[in-house]
Amino acid sequence: MSGPLLPGATLGVMGGGQLGRMFVHAAQALGYSTAVLDADADSPAGRVSHHHVRTGYLDETGLRDLAQAAQAITTEFENVPAQALRTLAAQRPVHPSADAVAVAQDRTQEKAHFTRCGVPVAPHAVIETPEQLAAVRADLLPGILKTARLGYDGKGQARVDSPQALAAAWDRMQRVPCVLEKLLPLAFECSVVVARGVDGAMVNLPVQRNLHRDGILAVTEVGAGVVPDDVAQRAVEATRAVAQGIGYVGVLCVEFFVLHDGALVVNEMAPRPHNSGHWSIDGADVSQFELQVRTLAGLPLVQPRQHSAAVMLNLLGDLWFTHGSEREPAWADVLALPGAHLHLYGKAEARPGRKMGHLTCTAAHLADARATARRACEVLGLEGF
Ligand code: ATP
Ligand code: MG
Task: Tell me the pLDDT tens digit for each residue of 241-256.
Answer: 999 999 999 999 999 9
Q: Is 79 exposed, middle or buried (0-12, 13-18, 19+ CB in 10 A)?
A: middle
Q: Which ligand is nearest to the CA of 186?
A: 1
pLDDT digits (tens, 9 = 90+) for 91-114: 999 999 999 999 999 999 999 999
Question: Given ligand 1 and candidates 157, 166, 253, which is best to mutate, with the most ligand atoms within 8 Å of its CB?
Answer: 157
Q: Which CATH class is domain 123-182?
A: alpha beta
CA distance 174 to 151: 14
Ligand 1 atom with least separation from CA of 124: 27
Identify the residues whose C-beta falls under 6 Å from ligand 1: 122, 144, 146, 151-155, 181-184, 186, 189, 212, 215, 255, 267-268
CA distance 100 to 245: 10
Closest Cα to atom 16 of ligand 1: 215
**Hey, is 153 helix, strand or coil?**
coil
Query: Which CA distances in Å does 52 have to 34, 39, 43, 93, 230?
Result: 9, 9, 9, 19, 45
* Contact (Cβ atoms closer than 8 angstroms) between residue 10 and residue 71: yes
Residue 152 — very low, low, confident or very high, per pLDDT cuts 50/70/90? Answer: low
Q: Is the pLDDT of residue 319 over 90?
A: yes
Interior CA angle at 351 toward 348 and 352, to 5°?
150
Domain range summary for the chain, segments of one domain joined by +? 10-94, 123-182, 186-380
pTM: 0.96
- Choice among 78-82, 289-293, 296-300, 373-377 with the minimum mean pLDDT: 78-82
User: 10-94, what's its fold?
Assistant: Rossmann fold (3.40.50)
The set of long-range contacts for 82-89, using a CB threshold of 8 Å and a minimum separation of 24, is 83/58, 84/14, 84/57, 84/58, 85/14, 87/60, 87/63, 88/14, 88/63
Question: Which whole number is the average pLDDT over 204-217?
Answer: 96
Residue 154 in marked binding region: yes
Longest dimension (CA), the chain: 59
pLDDT of 229 reads 97
Domain 186-380 falls under CATH 3.30.470.20: yes
Neighbours of 185 (CB within 10 A): 7
Ligand 1 atom with least separation from CA of 212: 20
